[in-house]
Amino acid sequence: MALLEVENIHTYYGSIHALKGISITVDKGEIVTLVGANGAGKSTTLNTICGVLKPRHGEIRLNGELLNALKPHEIVAKGISQAPEGRRIFSRLTVMENLEMGAYARSDRREIAKDLERVFAIFPRLKERARQVGGTLSGGEQQMLAIARALMARPRVLLLDEPSMGLAPILVQEIFSVIREINQQGTTILLVEQNVNMALQIAQRGYVLETGRVALQGSAKELRENPRVRAVYLGETLHA
Amino acid sequence: MAVVSREAQVSRAPIVRVSVNRILLWVVGLGVAALVVWRIAGTAARGLYGPDIWIMQTLNGLVQGSMYALVALGYTMVYGILLMINFAHGEIFMIGAMAGYFVLNGFHQSGLLASDPVLALLLTFVVGMGVPPIVGVLLERIAYRPLRRAPRLVPLICAIGASFFLQQAVRLLFGIRTKVYPTVAVLSGSWTVNVGGRDLRIQHMSALIIVITIILMVALYLLVRKTKIGKAMRAVAEDKEAAALMGIDVDWVIMITFAIGSALAGAAGVMWGLWYKQVIHTVGFIPGIKAFTSAVLGGIGNIPGAMMGGLFLGFVEAIAPTALDISTQLKDVISFGLLVIVLIFRPSGILGEVLSGKKA
Amino acid sequence: MKKWFVVVLIVTLALMLLPWGVLAAPPGQEGKIYTLGPRETLSLIAAREYGNVLAYPAIVYYNNLAAQTNPQLTKITDPNAVKPGDVILLPTADQVKAYLAGERVGPAKGDAPPDDLWGVVTIGPGEPVRIGFAAALSGAGVDVLGLDEKRGAELAVADRPTLAGHPVELVVEDDLCSGEGGTAVANKFVADPTIVAVVGNMCSSSSIPASDIYEKAGYTMVSPSSTAVAFTARGLRSANRVCWSDAIQGPAAAKFVYEKLGIRKVATIHDGSPYGEGLVNAFAEGFKALGGEVVAQEAVSVGDTDMRPVLTKISVTGPELIYFGGFVAEGAFLASQRVDVGIEKVIFMGADGIKADDFIKAAGAAAEGAYASAADLATAGPGVNAFLAKYEATYGEKPPAPFHLHAYDAVNVIMDAIYASAVQGPDGTLWIGREALNRAIRATSGYQGLSGVITCQPNGDCGTGTVAMSKVVNGQWVPAE
């Protein structure tokens, strides 16, 4: 049984049919990536998993447990946290407070402290800036904070939505190496990326979404070699 | 809301127009400021009022301002989180004043107020701060939560309706007669201080009100700054969806916000009853408006701003008619005039930060 | 057996449908002409002729009615001021009995509604005569005045529950003592063609704008307590009152302060209402005319609670007395906060707007020694004691405010005027011409009400204008002289 199973979900924005039957699975320890053009439904899929959007049909299971009816904060408590698109850190809270908010659903103080150590080990820059308010951080630091904050929930599955967006190429490299590091420490990751090239390099498997449907799926290697992916995503998006 | 209109202005009118408007506003504002300075100088020159009068008026203002500030906190906290003006907040204040009356009057009749006034007062504050949160939370649950995704004017209208509902409900339940707080003997005395050859009387009650206000403000500050729920409140105020994604139960946090704001308003209500003695179902209207003004003056959504705005408004109301040597009847004109002037120079209030367009 | 029951029922119903007003014997112009001797008063005559001192208002009533057609008779404008040689009509014992039971002569019989410039109210058989009542029934410090007036009016209806075979109904509205409230109630009443006339409004702030609306619609209002000078000073036929005008109350209070209290320096505060402002101006003018000094003239707003700033400001001018024009709430705030700014030795004085028990309750110990002017019960009419007993029995407390008697009288003046002006059809239908009713009200003369003698001046001022001073002693309002 996969850790996270998304089965045939249909999600609507009002009357717009955004997800038209998406099914994906994420196994324990994997990095799985969702790639696709703008509006293909990648972020919508993540938001549906997190409970911000409710699917009209379909099922979402974590370890076999149905999540559909739960509210976002309850889903976090079950073990899914997200570093959302655009980072959305709390700019008026300090870095430390942001991280505390990440661990909001937990009450095991000693373990939280341990995770804080771990996060600071991964992102030493955040430790230096722990007392600064979030709004004063640079874009790269904010992205790190967003990921660190999501990690503080000690998720079983970490959802990352466009972690490289708006970052300088050198920072993109850094972020991706951090993602790999987090994964190697044992966190399962579902990654949404427009930078398909990078995403397929660190992921084990991938799904290509097109207009709310899964167009292609397979191992990262298969997708990298797929001519269509090469033409549409690896060829053009690199320059975009 | 202010942000929206300014943006609308910018998009419709050419940049030059806007700056001409601004210059005009500044000229008007500076003119009024000059007028005020001239009047104050005139009053000072005539030497009609000694230092005792000024200290007295300042003290009057601080007491009045304390109550405004406590009520203003509720407005500003709810606005900060929901971007909505809870116009029924004045009624929450009234319910605190009423609850306090029934408890204190009960103690007065049972004799506890005479035998153990400290305990009686303490219990009065406990009930006066305990009942309003129940009403506030119910109000949020029944009247506002279902409208959270509605256009912003809808919950506003609903709040005005809720305000009438609460007022009339109290009127029907407890009658139209004015309720008079019993006199608390231990607090009805005063200290006499000699200032410039004249006796200045400082009421024990005024000291109590100021002290309790300071305690509550410090407590609120610590709560918001240091506790988990306080941090969650700030997080929710900034970004509800991101907060939910962090595992924060947004509905719960909003409920707690209403509860805290209501408790503060309840405390102000009890103080109001102790200080002014008379309470009635309409008692919340004017303090509600004034507290809302204070919140805007200080920068709505900003907690220290509401505290400052309230104290400032109370102070100006008390001292301006004397300082400007005009009729006391005009104090409301002065306070709202002040609001206009402050908003000309600082559109987001004294301590308000410039709101990002996203939120407005 | 069952059949029998049905027959009885039908007969009973049929009897109920009969126009009883027609069957009742019409009260004619009987009685005897009498010339008053030396030292004779109407009460003496009433006691001698009818065995009841309290019957003298009936003499006034029948005499004045007859005097309209009989030039030989002397019209009585004040029952307490009849002279020897006055020729009056003494009604029959039956007439007196009917009068005391609330019956009046009239309405005139007729087959068709009368012509009336302002329109006619038609009240079908069995339908009620609806009289509007508007006062502040909510609002800090004014509610108690309104409640008291409402009770006075209710007791008037309870005493005279029917009018020419029609039940009398009081339609009560809350005008909040504000201009908007008065206007809203007035618009509601003029939109309801069954409202015959209006008892109200209580506050001058409501009465003045309301009177403009009533004037246009041809309604007549009789206010129990709108004492502002402006109310009747605008030549409106709609505006009438059974209380005094502040043009009387203000100078009377000034005279009392200057002569009886021996005070020379006063400060005045009003609450911004037409009543408060008018009263304070009348007081200040009167006081200055007497040679006194007004050291400060201040104003607050209705709804203000923090009076310390204004009192602090006044304190430096060194007044011996603060004269306040306004109502209970603001008055009590002023009186009690006087202590806080250290001027509790400065006497506090108000008027009928604060002369309520709630003022004492709200101001607490600070109320002690405060003065207020209000209706002089010493000149009040007979039956006041019986009224007060009934009031207490009905509402479980003594009247908490000063205008219950005036409200009682206002209802009675309207009802008497309806008798005098209405036309009743053979089936009992009552037609009330609005203009005729207005004339009848304005024609009220020598009516002995509970609050005093009511005689309408051409401007609509009908009250007696006797003002008495009261003082708070041991937590009670007592006469000051």
Cα separation of C288 and C368, whole Å? Answer: 27
B105-153 pLDDT, tens digit per residue, is: 999 999 999 899 999 999 999 999 999 999 999 999 999 999 988 898 8
C284-310 pLDDT, tens digit per residue, is: 999 999 999 999 999 998 888 889 889
CB contact, 8 Å: B15 with chain A? no
Which residues are within 8 A (CB) of C15 and not within 5 positions of it... i.e. 6 or more apart? none
Where does B30-185 show beta strands of DSSP type E?
179-180
A63 burial (CB, 10 Å; 0-12 / 13-18 / 19+) is: middle
Residue of chain B minimizing CA distance to C317: B48
> Residue C26: helix, strand or coil by DSSP?
coil
pLDDT of residue C420: 92
Measuring CA to CA, how many Å separate C390 from each of C163, C395, C399, C404?
Answer: 21, 8, 11, 12
Same domain? For C293 and C166 the reply is no
Q: Where do runs of H (alpha helix) occur along C292-383?
A: 308-315, 328-340, 357-363
pLDDT of residue C377: 66
Same domain? For C25 and C163 the reply is no
C28-57 pLDDT, tens digit per residue, is: 457 788 888 888 888 888 888 888 888 888
- Give the best residue of A52, A71, A90 to mutate against chain B (max B CB count within 10 A): A90
Same domain? For C349 and C210 the reply is no
Chain A and chain C touch, per 3+ beta carbon pairs within 8 A: no
Cα separation of A83 and A175, whole Å? Answer: 13
Whether C263 and C320 have beta carbons less than 8 Å apart is answered as yes
Q: Using the beta-carbon criterion (under 8 Å), do C138 and B171 form an inter-chain contact?
A: yes
Q: Which chains touch A (3+ CB pairs under 8 A)?
A: B
Give Cα C338 to chain centroid, integer Å.
Answer: 33
**Residue C222: inside a domain, yes or no?**
yes
Same domain? For C152 and C282 the reply is no
pLDDT of residue C398: 86
For the segment(s) B53-345, the CATH number from 2.30.230, 1.20.120, 1.10.3470, 3.40.630 is 1.10.3470
Q: Which helix (H) or strand (E) holds B195?
A: strand B190-195
CB contact, 8 Å: B190 with chain C? yes
Same domain? For C157 and C213 the reply is yes
Same domain? For C416 and C273 the reply is no
Q: Using the beta-carbon criterion (under 8 Å), do B322 and C309 form an inter-chain contact?
A: yes
Q: Which helix (H) or strand (E) holds A11?
A: strand A4-13
Output the average pLDDT for chain B.
87
Q: Where do runs of H (alpha helix) occur along C35-102?
A: 42-50, 56-67, 93-100
- Give the best residue of C175, C313, C336, C360 to mutate against chain B (max B CB count within 10 A): C313
Cα separation of C221 and C438, whole Å? Answer: 9
Whether B294 and B312 have beta carbons less than 8 Å apart is answered as yes
Pick the closest to residue B136 from B291, B298, B239, B264 (CA basis): B264
Cα separation of B219 and B157, whole Å? Answer: 32
Of A73, A84, A91, the CB nearest to B247: A73
> Cα dihedral sign for C289, C292, C296, C301?
negative
Cα separation of B203 and B187, whole Å? Answer: 8
Token pair in block for residue B131 = 């009942």
Which residue is it, tokens 């300071």?
B214
Of C309, C342, C358, the CB nearest to B328: C309
The ipTM (two decimal places) reads: 0.90
Cβ neighbours around C111 below 10 Å, total? 8
Whether C445 and C76 have beta carbons less than 8 Å apart is answered as yes
Question: The sheet that has A205-210: what strands, in order across it?
Answer: A80-83, A157-161, A188-193, A31-36, A205-210, A213-219
pLDDT of residue B13: 47
Chain B and chain C touch, per 3+ beta carbon pairs within 8 A: yes
CA angle B137, B143, B144 (to 5 degrees): 80
C320-364 pLDDT, tens digit per residue, is: 999 999 999 899 999 999 988 889 899 999 998 899 888 998 888
Q: Using the beta-carbon criterion (under 8 Å), do A76 and B247 form an inter-chain contact?
A: yes
Q: Using the beta-carbon criterion (under 8 Å), do A149 and B246 form an inter-chain contact?
A: yes
A109 burial (CB, 10 Å; 0-12 / 13-18 / 19+) is: exposed
Which residues are within 8 A (CB) of A100 and not within 5 positions of it... i.e. 6 or more apart? A152, B228, B231
**Residue C309: inside a domain, yes or no?**
yes
> Residue B187: helix, strand or coil by DSSP?
helix
Pick the closest to residue B260 from B227, B305, B300, B309 (CA basis): B227
| Boundary residue ending a domain (C100, C135, C153) | C100
Residue of chain C minimizing CA distance to B179: C362
Output the average pLDDT for chain C.
87
pLDDT of residue C381: 65
Same domain? For C425 and C285 the reply is no
Quick one: pLDDT band at residue C143, thresholds 50, 70, 90? confident
Pick the closest to residue C170 from C199, C192, C146, C136 (CA basis): C199
C401-445 pLDDT, tens digit per residue, is: 888 999 999 999 999 999 999 999 999 999 999 999 999 999 998
**Residue C279: inside a domain, yes or no?**
yes
Whether C125 and C19 have beta carbons less than 8 Å apart is answered as yes
| Boundary residue ending a domain (C48, C82, C100) | C100
Same domain? For C205 and C162 the reply is yes
Residue of chain B minimizing CA distance to A101: B246
Pick the closest to residue B155 from B83, B101, B94, B63 (CA basis): B83
**Residue C135: inside a domain, yes or no?**
yes
Q: Using the beta-carbon criterion (under 8 Å), do A73 and B250 form an inter-chain contact?
A: yes
Measuring CA to CA, how many Å separate A68 from each of A62, B108, B239, C258?
Answer: 10, 56, 23, 85
Q: Could you tell me the pTM of the whole model?
A: 0.77
**Residue C391: inside a domain, yes or no?**
no
Residue of chain B minimizing CA distance to C304: B286
Of B232, B238, B239, the CB nearest to A104: B232
CATH number, domain of C69, equals 3.10.350
Q: pLDDT per position in chain A (240 positions), as tens?
A: 789 999 999 999 888 999 999 999 999 999 999 998 888 899 999 999 999 999 999 999 999 999 998 999 999 999 999 999 988 999 999 999 999 999 998 889 999 999 999 999 999 999 999 999 999 999 899 999 999 999 999 999 999 999 988 888 899 999 999 999 999 999 999 999 988 888 999 999 999 999 999 999 999 999 998 888 888 887 654 444
Residue ranges of chain B with pLDDT lower than 50? 1-13, 355-360
| Boundary residue ending a domain (C100, C121, C148) | C100
Q: Which chains touch C (3+ CB pairs under 8 A)?
A: B
A130-146 pLDDT, tens digit per residue, is: 999 999 999 899 999 99
CB contact, 8 Å: B66 with chain C? no
Cα separation of B228 and B231, whole Å? Answer: 5
Measuring CA to CA, how many Å separate C108 from each of A114, C18, C462?
Answer: 101, 18, 25
B-C C-beta contacts closer than 8 Å? 105
pLDDT of residue C269: 95
Number of domains making up chain C: 3
C13 burial (CB, 10 Å; 0-12 / 13-18 / 19+) is: exposed
Residue spans of the domains in chain B: they are 20-49, 53-345
